[in-house]
Amino acid sequence: MTNVSARYRALLAAGELRPDADQRKAVIALDRLATELRAQADGGLLSRLFGRRVPQPRGIYLWGGVGRGKSMLMDLAFESVAVERKRRVHFNEFMLEVHERLRVERLKEEGDPIPPVAKAIAAEARFLAFDEMVINNSADAMILSRLFTQLLAEGVTVVTTSNRPPRDLYLDGLNRELFLPFIFLIERELEVIPLNGPTDYRLERLGGYPTWYVPNGPEATAALAAAFFRLTDYPPEDRAHVPSCDLQLGGGRDLHVPKCLKGVAVFSFKRLCGEARGAPDYLAVARRFHTVVIVGIPKMGPENRNEAARFVTLIDSLYEHKVKLLAAADAEPEHLYQAGDGAFEFERTASRLIEMQSEEYLARGHGSE
Ligand SMILES: Nc1ncnc2c1ncn2[C@@H]1O[C@H](COP(=O)(O)OP(=O)(O)OP(=O)(O)O)[C@@H](O)[C@H]1O
Ligand SMILES: [Mg+2]
């Protein structure tokens, strides 16, 4: 396993990345972290042998505008750190899981549920990498300070990305004063690094290319595949091995995502809107992915009113979370569904779909704020 800066330099040398001053500083910090984590792993052995204590590595909070390379650098660091028990998880997904664990723990009626939950999480991972930390509900806000205090006390090292500096988390949220200790905790315990250079690299990769392809067919598929490879840096020659994943929807249900990489998901229209699905499913998709590719959107008529209604709900969720949409369809948005139940309401969806193709929309950050 090589260190973070060596990997970063290799990507620069290969022309995959362009030099970026903020990124260079972040790489130095991530390298420091990777080195300390390794020392801790080695030192754990030393301290068992000689009773010497190795200080806990200081975690990192990377924040900045969209497309600045936060997730990319975090992934690079994640792959580089020589820690066996490590976990990378989307922050929203992690919090859903925390609430579920707390619920189970409360049933035991053994007092404060947070310490045992933190202990269990720490037992699974010494190194936690969170992507897209955003706090927009009071249930999360109220427990975060105590949860993270416990996690750090259990020896967990945290790296996280966010579109906001710590002081702007949960801004204007309900009972924000109860949340402030979490901000102080982050500012005290983590190294806070802005990654806020002038270039939105994602927009650069999306920009100039259409995002809505008509009609469905090999040409559209090829264009969308190229966009997927561009966005994820995945080698096109390895197309047969693009990873898939299962998105947890709650209630024990899963949604299979046939292509799932670096916050980008590919779905067929059939899978998303051809089956009985509803707002919570679409919300899970919108929260989890910053970019969604949908292929096979048909032209719909009165007999497709269910599909059309689901599609409306889906697009509302994506739009509200500022998810970037790339699509292949048999018609332009305004001609997708012109007659049938809800065709009038569909006009708003068509208008949103058009807005979602604009440079301005594409330049917005992912998230519900
Ligand atoms: N220095 C760079 N040169 C060229 N491309 C880059 C550079 N840094 C990042 N990228 C690319 O830009 C895209 C966006 O990067 P990334 O997903 O890491 O952004 P982000 O900061 O996490 O954005 P968001 O806040 O929306 O999650 C990725 O495809 C990434 O590989
Ligand atoms: Mg990101």
Tens digits of residue pLDDT in 315-337: 999 999 999 999 999 999 999 99
| pLDDT tier, 130 (very low <50, low <70, confident <90, very high otherwise) | very high
State the span(s) of the chain assigned CATH 3.40.50.300: 4-194
pLDDT score of 45 more than 80: no
> Rg for the chain (alpha carbons), in Å?
22
> For a pocket test of ligand 1, which of 202, 203, 206, 291 has the largest count of ligand atoms closer than 8 A to its C-beta?
202
The best mutation among 63, 70, 201, 204 to test binding of ligand 1, ranked by most ligand atoms within 8 Å of the C-beta, falls on: 201
Distances in Å between the Cα of 105 and the Cα atoms of 83, 97, 101, 113, 114 are 28, 12, 6, 6, 8
**d(CA 262, ligand 2 centre) in Å:** 8
Whole-number pLDDT of residue 6: 96
* pLDDT band of 47, cuts 50, 70, 90: low
* pLDDT of amino acid 158: 98
Q: Which CATH architecture has domain 4-194?
A: 3-Layer(aba) Sandwich (3.40)
The arithmetic mean of pLDDT across residues 305-311, rounded, is 96
Q: Kindly state if the Cβ of 231 falls inside 6 Å of ligand 1.
A: yes
Q: Is 233 in the pocket of ligand 1 (CB under 6 A)?
A: yes
CB of 200 closer than 6 A to ligand 1? no
Task: Return the ligand number nearest the Cα of 231.
Answer: 1
> What is the structure's pLDDT at 93?
85
CATH numeric code, 201-362: 3.40.50
Closest residue by Cα to atom 25, ligand 1, is: 66
Q: Is ligand 1 within 6 A of the CB of residue 70?
A: yes
67 lines ligand 1 (CB under 6 A): yes
| Closest ligand, as measured to the CA of 195 | 1
Q: Say if residue 1's pLDDT is above 60.
A: no
Q: What is the pTM of this model?
A: 0.83
Q: Identify the pLDDT of residue 49.
A: 67
Question: For ligand 1, atom 9, which residue shows the shortest CA distance?
Answer: 69
Assess whether the C-beta atom of 113 lies below 6 angstroms from ligand 1: no
Residue 82 pLDDT grade (very low, low, confident, very high; cuts 50, 70, 90): confident
C-alpha 48 to ligand 2 mean position (Å): 38
- Going by alpha carbons, the residue nearest to atom 8 of ligand 1 is 69
What spacing in Å lies between the alpha carbon of 70 and ligand 2's midpoint?
A: 6
